[in-house]
Amino acid sequence: MKIDFHCHTTASDGALSPEQLVQRAGDRGIELLSITDHDSVNAYQQLSTLPKGLRLIPGIELSCQWQKRGIHIVGLNIDPDSDAMAEATSTQAKARALRAEIIAEKLAKYGVENPLEGALAHSDGGAIGRPHFARHMVNTGFVSNESEAFKKFLGSGKTCDIKVCWPNPEQAINWIVNAGGVAVLAHPGKYNMTRSKLVSFLEDFTRWGGAAMEVVSGRQIPSQTTEFSKLCRQFSLMASWGSDFHSPAQTWLDLGSYSTPPDDVTPVWNHWQ
Q: Which residues bind Mn ion (CB under 5 A)?
A: 13, 61, 72, 186, 244
Candidates 144, 147, 226, 273; binder of ligand AMP (CB under 6 A) is 147
Q: How many CB atoms lie within 10 A of CB 223?
A: 8
Q: Which of 66, 150, 175, 228 binds ligand AMP (CB under 6 A)?
A: 150
Using the Cα atoms of residue 18, residue 136, residue 145 and residue 97 in order, give the sign of their dihedral: negative
Q: What Å distances lie between residue 124 and 81, 146, 246, CA to CA? A: 22, 18, 16
Stretch that binds ligand AMP, among 18-26, 80-88, 145-153, 168-176 (CB under 6 A): 145-153
Instruction: Specify the residue, 197 or 246, whose C-beta has the smaller distance to ligand AMP.
Output: 246
In whole angstroms, how close is the CB of 111 to Mn ion at the nearest point? Answer: 26
CB of 244 or CB of 254, closer to Mn ion: 244
CB of 99 to ligand AMP, least distance (A): 8
Parallel, antiparallel, or unpaired for β 238-242 and 212-217? parallel
The verdict on 129 binding ligand AMP (CB under 6 A) reads: yes
Gap between the Cα atoms of 235 and 71, Å rounded:
18
| Residue among 27, 46, 30, 72 nearest 213 (CA) | 72
**168-196: burial string, b at 16+ Cβ within 10 Å, e else:** ebbbbbbbbbbbebbbbbbbbbbbebeee
Letter for the amino acid at 123? Answer: S
Q: Is 115 in the site for ligand AMP (CB under 6 A)?
A: no
Pick what 130 binds: ligand AMP, Mn ion, none; C-beta below 5 to 8 Å, kind-dependent: ligand AMP
Q: Indicate left, alpha or beta for 146 from its phi (over 0: left) and psi (-120 to 50: alpha).
A: alpha
Residue 167 binds ligand AMP (CB under 6 A): no
6 touches ligand AMP (CB under 6 A): no
Using CB under 6 A as the binding rule, the residues of this chain from 242 to 261 that contact ligand AMP are: 246
Please give the backbone phi and psi of residue 26, each rounded to the nearest 5 degrees, phi first: -60, -45
H or E element: which one contains 172?
Answer: helix 169-178
Instruction: Choose among Mn ion, ligand AMP, none what residue 150 binds, the Cβ cut-off being 5 to 8 Å by kind.
Output: ligand AMP
Q: How far is the CB of 190 from ligand AMP (least distance, A)?
A: 8
Q: Does 155 bind ligand AMP (CB under 6 A)?
A: yes
Interface residue list for ligand AMP (CB under 6 A)? 13, 38, 63, 129-131, 146-147, 150, 155, 246
